[in-house]
Structure 1
Amino acid sequence: MNRTYKPMLARLAHKPFSSSSWLFEIKWDGFRAIAYVIETVSVRSRNGKELIQVFPELEELKQLASNVVLDGEIVVVKDGKTDFQALLERSNATSQVEIELQKKRTPVVYIIFDILEKDGITLVNLPLTERKRILKASVKEGKHVLLSDFIETKGQAYYTIALEKGLEGIMAKKKDSFYEPGLRTGNWLKIKKLRSCDCVILGYTKGSGARTDTFGALLLGLYSEKKLVYVGKVGTGFSQRTLDMLSKRFQKLKTAKAPFFVNSADEITWLKPELVCEVAYQTVTKDKRLRLPRFSG
């Protein structure tokens, strides 16, 4: 393996659109991974961690392609939809016996949407449409390996269909875009439907760095049968003005009484349950936590 690549990243778009200059594909809910299929198979996470030992079924790539570097998403599919919680549970397996058992119970699929290198020649400076053509000619599909389908132009209709099928959203990519490793540019966009709910602010964690004088994250709760239940923390979506405003309001609401136990190493300041905020989130996990929460107001 002569060179390594960081995944190209996407910006968030707030609504779907249609354009003949773009192509559209499903936004898969899994682990982003770069696969190096050279003499051996190496599958690396976004931060460079080797994943092939955790997902040994992806060794199948060796029979389906050669001398390529691929970009895709590792997913668990159940009932036609991706199951991120099942993928997380699968990734927590550590012993060889447990990994083999999980491989049979909860197999993963590597869905490939880009090719970055072939036969030692980098392809990142080719247009996306040309890379897609090379990808289709270079990789066969298998039991654990699929090529991501895409359509051209009709992004709005594709987004509607994706949501009807219970998927989280779509990706929009400029047809003539180069692959820009490690960069988050406007050439790739993610378009997702976010849910929202009104949560009770029950405390906050100590801030650090630029937030030393305000707070790190808010601890959130919802009422269930007149009892407050912890649903997670939110630490993104705040403007500096909002951070300052909330911090000022918190001063009169501090309390030593914790409404529930939170297993956290963070320093927590509890608040009387008098403030409510809107939080956008992607879904609710099996342990009743908001996934990918973002403060809305």
Structure 2
Amino acid sequence: MPDSKMPFILIITILLILSACERNTTAEPESGSWAAALKNGSGQLTAFYVPAGGFAWHDGERLTGVTVDILRKFAGWAEDHYGVAVDLDFRAEDDFRTFMQTVVDAGEGVIGFANVTITEERKEIMQFSPPYMHNIAVLISHDSRPALERLEDFGVVFSGLTALAFEGTLHETRLRKLAGDWYPGMPVEYAHSNAEIIEKTASGDTYVAYVDVYNYWRAIEAGAPLKRHTIGDEAAEQFGYILPHGSDWGPVLHEFFAHDGGFLNSETYRSIMEEHLGPGLAELLIP
């Protein structure tokens, strides 16, 4: 006589398997992810940054600047467009290399900004937002130094000087390349901020350095005795926010930059640039 319990046991087994499959397909999104924020209606985005005048600096108690305000506009757009309240947790990191590694090694819910140049090499270890600004890297010295007319004269014009670099940046790479090509054995000294580079280079005929054009522009406006050697300009640069590889905040950040004909084409973007950098410099750097 057949066992009457067998069909019942079989049905229970099938139901348990189906239930397990359902739970597997509706797994909770990773904590800190955009998917989790979208599901919950809110989320936190931890924003690491390297302090820089005009871009990320404190006006009294309030953190402000170009890159800070753009990120706040993103948070506002996310709430308006998706109904997601994004809490921005800003965290300063003065060391550029530590900043970069912190973001690269992070999990979901982390973004970084420090006017990081977008390069193919860096794309191998991190994710970039669309560019938020163009840049020109400029070669500078004290104003008393003769102008460099040809790159091959680098070792002659800057004989006796020390290359001053912000360690771990493309500016260091550029300086080392010039020195390697035209001034082998040129001493290299490290600075800990762009402000330090400007201050030391302007203090006397001792250093040659690369800085971003906005640092040079502001220093000249403040009366610093600096000379720009235009033969050394590197103009094909773009800055972007950085995220860990695989972060699902990347696509929604791309969506923000593309909305309504492109954020960089908006009056809001121009207003942010002009407020923090001034109309002249903003015009130079707006794509």
Normalised to the residue count of structure 1, the TM-score between the two structures is 0.25
Q: Which has the larger radius of gyration?
A: 2
Structure number with higher strand proportion: 1
Structure number with higher helix proportion: 2
Q: Looking at both structures, which has the greater relative contact order when contacts are Cα pairs under 8 Å and sequence separation is at least 6?
A: 2
